[in-house]
Amino acid sequence: MSTPFNPCAVVPCYNHGATVGDVVRRLKAQGLEVLVVDDGSDASTAGVLRSLEGIHLARLERNGGKGAAMERGLREAARLGFTHALQIDADGQHCVEDAPRFLDAGRAEPEAVVCGLPQFDASAPAGRRYGRRVTWLWTCIETRSAAIGDALCGFRLYPLRPTLVLLERRRIARGMSFDIDIVVRLAWLGLPIRNLPTRVVYPPGGISHFRLLRDNLRISGTHARLFFASFLQKKRLHWSQQAERGAPWGLRLVAAARRLFGHQAARIALAPAVAWFFLTGAQARAASRLYLQRLGAHAGGSAPRPTAWNVLRHMMSFADAGLDKLAAWRGEVSHDEIEFHGEEEFARLRGATRGALFVGSHLGNLEMIRALAVTRGIAPITAVVYTDHARRFAAALERADARFGDNLMEVTDFGPETAIALRERIERGEILVIVGDRTPPADNGRCAHAPFLGHAAPFPQGPMILAHLLDCPVYLFFCLKQGTHYHIHLERFAERVQLPRAGRQAAIEAHVARYAARLEWYCRTAPLQWFNFFDFWHEPVGRS
């Protein structure tokens, strides 16, 4: 399924009874649901708001400032089932007819914050123009980029899910500084910022609640707090850009311990490193806790609780999986330790003249199938990987068996040349293995959102598009460890993945949703063996 896009307009209003009705009417003419937040207005304006038909109305009994009204509006919009909120002022300064452009940008990029970039006419006060330049300079310093075109503009579209996560974890300025504070912090969380030029006017007789001395002092204080807080921020990187942690000598020490003294000795050698990563890896801890929390909420009481102890166990399970990969490539896994589920599918593949595509994941031990294929001659298998991420560990596996680097194909996207090269391998009878639970690193890498543990999560479209281009059987592959045994699951996903021209995107999303459902089922089977220690749902996971 695609990311849901159900927007509404949120209009904070404080004593703008003369203009708010026209703003609401024009918004509704654009097909928008409208939520007006009465920020403690006087009786006259309150009466005007109550008379407006076909709107959602929330009221603060006391005037709390623009930030307080917007926070109430964003929460109320989410409660009403909306996914995005278009903030627009009630005083008539903003060009309401530009609203469809903001919505189109948000629909095309649902995780982005779409900000208005004011195009002033002669009615704009000189102070507003000057303030824009000063604030732009400060936001460039605070975000280390020029991504935010105008942090003072109150015409913007918020994705509600990550915005509400931020509001739960940080107190945002309640007054006129709200627009600055929230957009800078959303940029820190890695949300894309998109700027749309839009006309802004200052009509004669318009009511402004901006108090020159008071609000400028508050804005200056907000910039001061953001400036100092910016030194504590780390840019959120895509998983493929995150640096590896650990030293090569550490991997060699663990490998030597396993070779000389066995698996338990290697686990003991790993324990200090796991403890160190647990203590210093705030993002990995938070991601693990979020995963366990959602698994527990969706799977019931059988899943481990999201406690610090279980997060540590999760990380230790990841380290164990690394040892298992070394053992597989060294040929140290015996037949008695492996149980196949789907043996008839393996038999079917051995009798086929053309190859097949295996779609795996970061659940369990994906390397097991390649190691078995190489060390036991099951079939020629090529692993298709997005990048050279985790080069150090790959080098350790290559030292365990020089054949590790054979049939390992690195790609950046699934363009025509890549598809042709892979199809040639299929025609030779090879099996291709690709993971389906990490979005591609390329900026133009497309993803589809599917339900996963009760929430919409981004999955790459690439595996399904590749399966269609290869025109071959597609299987799901999982290798899970239970005790000392490895359970290899192979299940047929599709004889062919069909993507008709009419409804192509819907077909891709349906296949992605089926994959996500099976991944979720296996996660319940082995809850501590899913190893995506980053913000998988593309939400700010904060610190743990």
Higher-pLDDT residue of 180, 260:
180
Q: Is the pLDDT of residue 169 over 50?
A: yes
Residues 6+ apart with CB under 8 A from 160: 74, 77, 78, 82, 83, 84, 85
Q: Containing H/E element for 468? A: helix 462-470
437 and 517 belong to one structural domain: yes
The pLDDT value given to residue 377: 54
The DSSP string of 301-332 is TTSPPS-HHHHHHHHHHHHHHHHHHHHHHTT-
Please state the length of the chain: 544
Residue with structure tokens 């850009």? 241
Domain boundary among 191, 207, 230: 230
460 and 422 belong to one structural domain: yes
251 and 201 belong to one structural domain: no
pLDDT tens across 105-120, in order? 999 888 899 999 988 7
The pLDDT value given to residue 298: 79
Q: Is the pLDDT of residue 144 over 60?
A: yes
Q: Which of 401, 405, 393 is nearest to 254 (CA)?
A: 393
- Residue 287 maps to a domain: yes
Domain boundary among 209, 230, 251: 230
Residues 318-346: what's their mean pLDDT? Answer: 79
Chain centre distance of CA 426: 32
- Total domains in the chain come to 2
Average pLDDT over all residues of the chain: 81
Residues 67-73: what's their mean pLDDT? Answer: 94
- Residue 490 maps to a domain: yes
Q: How confident is the model at residue 131 (pLDDT cuts 50, 70, 90)?
A: low
Give the whole-angstrom CA distance, residue 537 versus residue 457.
5
Give the whole-angstrom CA distance, residue 120 versus residue 124.
6
Please state, for a pLDDT cut of 70, what percent of the chain lies above it: 78
The pLDDT value given to residue 334: 76
291 and 226 belong to one structural domain: no
Range of the domain at 522: 240-529
191 and 256 belong to one structural domain: no
253 and 194 belong to one structural domain: no
Residues 172-179: what's their mean pLDDT? Answer: 84
Q: How confident is the model at residue 493 (pLDDT cuts 50, 70, 90)?
A: very high
The pLDDT value given to residue 388: 46
448 and 520 belong to one structural domain: yes
- Residue 538 maps to a domain: no
- Residue 99 maps to a domain: yes
pLDDT tens across 242-275, in order? 444 444 445 555 666 666 666 677 777 778 878 8
Chain centre distance of CA 431: 30
- Residue 417 maps to a domain: yes
Structure-block tokens of residue 277: 């990563």
- Residue 265 maps to a domain: yes
Residues 368-394: what's their mean pLDDT? Answer: 60
Q: Is the pLDDT of residue 346 over 80?
A: no
- Residue 324 maps to a domain: yes
Q: How confident is the model at residue 409 (pLDDT cuts 50, 70, 90)?
A: low
Residues 6+ apart with CB under 8 A from 171: none
For residue 20, the domain's CATH number is 3.90.550.10
The pLDDT value given to residue 248: 46
257 and 224 belong to one structural domain: no
Higher-pLDDT residue of 203, 183:
183
Higher-pLDDT residue of 237, 523:
523
222 and 284 belong to one structural domain: no
Residues 304-328: what's their mean pLDDT? Answer: 87
Domain boundary among 230, 258, 288: 230
Q: How confident is the model at residue 71 (pLDDT cuts 50, 70, 90)?
A: very high
212 and 338 belong to one structural domain: no
Residues 459-479: what's their mean pLDDT? Answer: 91
Q: Containing H/E element for 388? A: none
Structure-block tokens of residue 353: 């003249």
- Residue 535 maps to a domain: no
147 and 66 belong to one structural domain: yes
The pLDDT value given to residue 399: 54
Q: Is the pLDDT of residue 96 over 90?
A: yes
Q: Is the pLDDT of residue 541 over 50?
A: no
Q: Is 36 helix (H, G, I), strand (E, B) or coil?
A: strand
pLDDT tens across 268-314, in order? 777 887 888 888 888 889 889 999 999 998 776 678 999 999 999 99
The pLDDT value given to residue 540: 46
Q: Which of 332-346, 384-398, 505-519 has the highest mean pLDDT?
A: 505-519
Q: Is the pLDDT of residue 6 over 90?
A: yes
Structure-block tokens of residue 462: 């690439």
Range with the lowest mean pLDDT among 231-235, 433-437, 453-457?
A: 231-235
469 and 519 belong to one structural domain: yes
